[in-house]
Structure 1
Amino acid sequence: MPEGHTLHRLALDLDEAFGGTCPAVSSPQGRMAAAAELVDRTMLEATSAHGKHLFLHFEADRSIHIHLGLIGKFQFSAYAPPTGQVRLRVANDTIAADLRGPQLCALRTPAEVIAVQQKLGPDPLRDDADPEKAWARIQRSTKPIAALLMDQSVLSGVGNVYRAEVLFRNRLAPMTPGKDLKRASWRAIWRDLVELMPIGVRDNRIDTVRPEHEPEAMGRDPRVDDHGGEVYVYRRNGQACHVCGSTVRTVVLEGRNLFWCGKCQRRK
């Protein structure tokens, strides 16, 4: 599932292509036809993201709310007739953005947008994020911090890659209960996310290794993986840790694969 940086990047790309204009909005597949008709050729006033949720804000207080889910994606291309199952198309005379396979695509009122956002935890990529709201929930929970970081009602936008990597970078044992996490450790996690996630937006991929652990610095081959950038532990189970050489481990936690280094990540 795309992590928060992907949605923020999409918001920027959509705004660059269509912001401040009145694009053609349609639903070639037909499932969003009525909603698309209401915003077709009206002003796209702003685009925004909150965690893994994307919002296209049109005039007359109408917003399209999108959650990509596991298989959803927006594809930008030079304008041509749509092909395949396109749920939503935003287009002008030169470019088209086609949405396929989203988990959610719905028309919202401003009040409904606010209601969605109020259920989400703070997003490290948003200027209005308050990390204390996440900390208030973390310090009361007996769940492992590795599970809490993936709970979108606690912290918004962090997925499997960022949670594994930020825990490694801060040498934190992933099974530490939230109530046992030190406040200083939470602040360090938040600072790390605020530093790393904008890089993901900029580069449209996740890179988390520090300069001294880059392939060139270590004399190792670059990572080859469909998910992109250089990482410490994500999807590196059975391989040697870049820092200590121990074998990277994996375990299923709440239905998702967790990756960590048992030697480096001992801090509670």
Structure 2
Amino acid sequence: MPEGHTVHRSARQLSAHLGGVELRADSPQGRFAAGAAAIDGLVMDRAEAWGKHLLLRFDAPPGSDRFLHVHLGLYGKWLLGTGEPPEPRGALRLRLVGPGDEPAWAELRGPTACELMDDAGRAALLARLGPDPLRKDAEPERAWERVHRSRQAVAALLMDQSVLAGVGNVYRAEVLFRAGLAPMLPGSAVAEADWQHVWDDLVVLMRAGVRAGHIVTTERQHRDRVSGQARREDRFYVYRRHGLPCRLCGTPVQVADLVGRRLYWCPVCQAA
């Protein structure tokens, strides 16, 4: 599932690609036909992300269904282009096309959620989400209040979108390793300074992910190849490296299932 940096990157691209112009909207697949008809001919003011949720705001009166809410889930993806859009193929949920002879366009396929909502719906959605490290208006103290009162494992809390929005399995494993925190440590046992380190590290790593379009968490001196850009196999400390030696101490990386996802950690560098 795309993590928060991917959704924020999509929001920036959609704003630059289609923002401020009147759009044609249709749903070749038919599953979003009524919604597409409702926004057809409207101007998209901007796209914004909150965690793994994307909201496109259209130039419509307050109180109307002027927000398009998209959650990509496991299989959703955006495709952007310019020129005459290609002939629709497969499960194309939504297509947005700008004006002109060489129009900008965007196609949305396979999202978990694609729906219109009004201001109250947007407010209700955001009320269910924790602070997002990539947002300038984030309130990190809200996440800390939830964490230090919980007996759940900190690794589970990091995946709870009502605690912290935008963190997925990769950032979860990597930021805990970088902080030297045992993943099964209860939230109530995490020191406030350690949690602040986790938050600050997420801000840095996720911003870098937005810029690069992929996640890199390793420091150059810890990679197998220290020169040049990080290769795919050098990008992570523990994620999907189970059985391989830890980059710092050489101990085999461990793996276990937690909250329906695979958790990776080093039992020495992240000792309880």
In the TM superposition, residue 254 of structure 1 has moved relative to its aligned partner by: 1.4
Match of 1:58 in 2: 58
Per-residue displacement from partner, 1:183-207 (whole Å, max 9, x unpaired)? Answer: 0011000000011101100111000
Shift of the alpha carbon at 1:218?
Answer: 8.6
Letter in 2 for 1:101: G
User: Could you tell me which residue of structure 1 aligns to residue 266 of structure 2?
Assistant: 261
Read off the aligned partner of 1:81 and give its amino acid letter.
Answer: E
Residue 242 of structure 1 aligns with which residue?
247
The C-alpha deviation readout for 1:22-79, integer Å capped at 9, x for no partner, is 1211111111111111111211001000000000100114010000111111112342
Question: Structure 1: any 5+ residue segments left out of the alignment?
Answer: none
- Give CA deviations for 1:119-175 in whole Å, capped at 9, x if unaligned: 100000001111110111111111000000000000000000000000000110000
Q: Secondary structure at the match of 2:131?
A: coil
Q: Is the 8 A contact 2:18 2:104 kept in 1?
A: no
Matched residue, 1:91? 97
Q: Is the contact made by 2:223 and 2:247 (CA closer than 8 Å) also made in structure 1?
A: no
Question: 1:77 and 2:81 equivalent?
Answer: yes
Q: 2:33 and 2:224 mapped to 1: Cα distance?
A: 49
AA aligned to 2:33 is A
> 2:30 maps to what in 1?
30
Matched, 1:189 2:198: yes
Whether 1:131 aligns to 2:140 is yes
Report if aligned partners of 1:80, 1:96 keep a CA contact under 8 Å in 2.
Answer: no
- The residue number in structure 2 matching 1:45 is 45
TM score, norm. by length of structure 2: 0.93
Could you say what secondary structure the match of 2:142 adopts? helix
- Unaligned 5+ runs, structure 2: none
Are 2:131 and 1:122 aligned? Answer: yes
Cα RMSD of the aligned pairs, angstroms, is: 1.6
Q: Is the 8 A contact 2:79 2:106 kept in 1?
A: yes
1:259 counterpart SS class: strand
Instruction: List aligned pairs for 1:153-192, cutoff 5 A.
Output: 153-192=162-201
Contact 1:73 1:101 in 2 (8 A): yes
Q: Report the secondary structure of 1:87's partner residue.
A: strand
Amino acid at match of 1:116: L
Q: Percent identity of the aligned residues?
A: 50
> d(CA) in 2 for partners of 1:34 and 1:191?
42
Q: CA deviation at 1:241?
A: 0.9
Following the alignment from structure 1 to structure 2, what is the Cα–Cα distance between the partners of residues 35 and 183? 45
Per-residue deviation, residues 200-255 of structure 1 (Å, max 9, x unmatched): 00111000001221333299x9434xxxx701000010111111111000000111
2: CA distance, partners of 1:223 / 1:11? 25
Q: Is 2:160 the counterpart of 1:147?
A: no
- Corresponding pairs, count: 262
- SS where residue 197 of structure 2 aligns? helix
Letter of the aligned partner of 1:164 in structure 2? Answer: A
Q: Which runs of 4+ in 1 moved over 6 A?
A: none
